[in-house]
């Protein structure tokens, strides 16, 4: 698809706000009133009806995501290497900047500087269905390319994949909350575990995604979009063609703010100039092309907005131990190893010297697959002392994006999982890979225990 944006010879540097007066408030999508719904629908309608080559046109705005997220750009200093923001430490900052300019343009179109995007609070039980404003076929917020089976009152599965057996609705909400706990708490105890791996000039893309980007972020794209066609929310390139994309990513942005206030670990943003000085270009609400850096978006108040506070119900919902009932788990003793339709396990040794003073992680390196596939596998941890039990530790997932071979890595936080297993003193742990997308071939280059920065 062609997702090249309009060009400009003049680029201005972004200037953050110097005052916190009159902050916009992003509210939970399930609780907004009818007046807000009409206002938001009207703003989107006006955006969709602009000339197709206008920088504010809805399709042009959707193409911004396509350009940065689906291989449209090469690195200027390394023209043979792609530049992409997913699966790296640029994921959160890029999407925050993207939503900021999109929100300001919508406000400009309806002449309302107080307008703020909603967030789809799918981490709360009351938000685990598609918000009603997006299901009204008479409004500009509806997208006919969503999966028909996920319309309300269907409850989302935050660890969803189309090949995964459907969960019993009676315990799905509880499972969602336990899943959120793992991805936000023990899965994100450091910046690289939560925000993703460094992606520097000259690096190949897909250095490694953080816990929340892998899931529920990717899962909610798959659940909302039509997985059989991989259109709109179901693919990287077309995801922003569905207006619900912006509520989904407003929630992702909100959870970045929530993460910084959670207990345990070192939950601070990177302090690395390669990250802080990374920059993106956007058309603003004054039709100027603006360069905005990561350091410009670290404080939402300097961007003029805050989030409505809603109850966080997953804080104490730790995943439960599970009995290992599978009849066959194939042990892996050498790499690379192939994961397709069978569980595989690997015995990983731990460092006695470091494990008490550093954040311990499992590294799955050299994960390779075809980017057009929908890949998903879950990671469980067990120990020789409790070989009949395991605990869920993390999950890997992607969205389809063209046809090319992707190579990436994954880091999974171990601290809480080991406590839950009672395996904190074990010299060896068992890493179990449970494939969910059983029709997809995935190669893993190596697995080892390391420590997170």
Q: Which residues contact 423 (CB under 8 A, 6 or more apart)?
A: 381, 383, 385, 386, 429
Tokens of 388: 């009949």
Q: Residue 90 in contact with residue 199, Cβ under 8 Å?
A: yes
Give catalytic residues, as residue numbers.
65, 86, 95, 217, 221, 236, 249
CA–CA separation, 35 and 168 (whole Å): 36
Q: Residue 194 in contact with residue 212, Cβ under 8 Å?
A: yes
Kindly calculate the radius of gyration of the chain based on its CA atoms and give it in whole angstroms: 22
Q: Which residues contact 419 (CB under 8 A, 6 or more apart)?
A: none
Tokens of 419: 């406590």
CA–CA separation, 107 and 90 (whole Å): 26
Four-point Cα dihedral 296, 299, 301, 307, nearest 10: 130
**In 3-state terms, what secondary structure has residue 103?**
helix
Q: Residue 326 in contact with residue 312, Cβ under 8 Å?
A: no
Tell me the sheet residues that pair with 448. 363
How far from each other are the two terminal CA atoms of the chain, in whole angstroms? 38
CA–CA separation, 135 and 398 (whole Å): 25
Cα angle 302, 308, 309; round to 5: 115
Tokens of 285: 């609400």
* Other CB atoms within 10 Å distance of the CB of residue 151: 13
Closest CA to 210 of 70, 431, 396, 447: 396
């Amino acid at each position: 698809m062609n997702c090249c944006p309009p060009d400009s010879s003049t680029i201005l540097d972004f200037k953050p706000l110097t005052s916190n007066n009159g902050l916009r408030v992003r509210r939970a999508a399930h609780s907004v009133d009818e007046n807000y719904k009409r206002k938001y629908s009207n703003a989107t309608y006006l955006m969709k009806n602009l000339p197709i080559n206008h920088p504010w046109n809805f399709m042009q705005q959707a193409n911004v995501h396509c350009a940065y997220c689906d291989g449209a750009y090469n690195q200027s200093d390394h023209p043979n290497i792609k530049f992409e923001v997913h699966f790296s430490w640029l994921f959160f900052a890029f999407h925050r900047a993207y939503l900021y300019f999109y929100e300001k343009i919508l406000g400009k179109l309806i002449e309302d500087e107080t307008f703020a995007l909603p967030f789809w609070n799918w981490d709360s039980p009351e938000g685990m269905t598609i918000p009603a404003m997006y299901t009204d076929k008479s409004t500009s917020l509806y997208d006919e390319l969503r999966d028909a089976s996920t319309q309300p009152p269907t409850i989302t599965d935050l660890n969803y994949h189309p090949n995964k057996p459907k969960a019993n609705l009676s315990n799905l909400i509880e499972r969602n909350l336990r899943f959120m706990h793992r991805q936000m708490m023990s899965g994100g105890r450091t910046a690289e575990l939560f925000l993703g791996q460094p992606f520097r000039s000259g690096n190949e893309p897909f250095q490694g995604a953080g816990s929340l980007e892998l899931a529920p972020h990717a899962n909610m794209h798959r659940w909302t979009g039509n997985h059989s066609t991989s259109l709109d929310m179901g693919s990287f390139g077309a995801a922003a063609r569905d207006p619900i994309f912006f509520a989904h990513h407003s929630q992702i942005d909100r959870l970045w703010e929530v993460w910084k206030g959670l207990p345990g670990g070192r939950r601070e943003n990177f302090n690395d100039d390669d990250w802080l000085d990374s920059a993106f270009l956007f058309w603003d609400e004054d039709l100027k092309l603006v360069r905005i850096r990561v350091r410009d978006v670290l404080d939402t108040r300097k961007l003029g907005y805050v989030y409505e506070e809603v109850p966080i119900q997953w804080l104490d919902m730790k995943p439960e131990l599970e009995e290992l009932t599978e009849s066959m788990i194939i042990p892996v003793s050498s790499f690379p190893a192939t994961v397709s339709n069978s569980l595989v396990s690997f015995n990983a040794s731990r460092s006695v010297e470091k494990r008490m003073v550093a954040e311990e992680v499992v590294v799955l390196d050299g994960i390779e697959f075809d980017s057009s596939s929908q890949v998903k596998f879950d990671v469980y941890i067990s120990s020789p002392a409790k070989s009949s039990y395991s605990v869920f530790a993390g999950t890997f997932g992607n969205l389809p994006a063209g046809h090319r071979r992707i190579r990436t890595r994954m880091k999974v936080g171990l601290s809480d999982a080991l406590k839950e297993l009672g395996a904190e003193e074990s010299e060896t742990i068992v890493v179990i890979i449970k494939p969910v997308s059983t029709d997809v071939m995935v190669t893993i280059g190596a697995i080892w225990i390391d420590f997170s920065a």
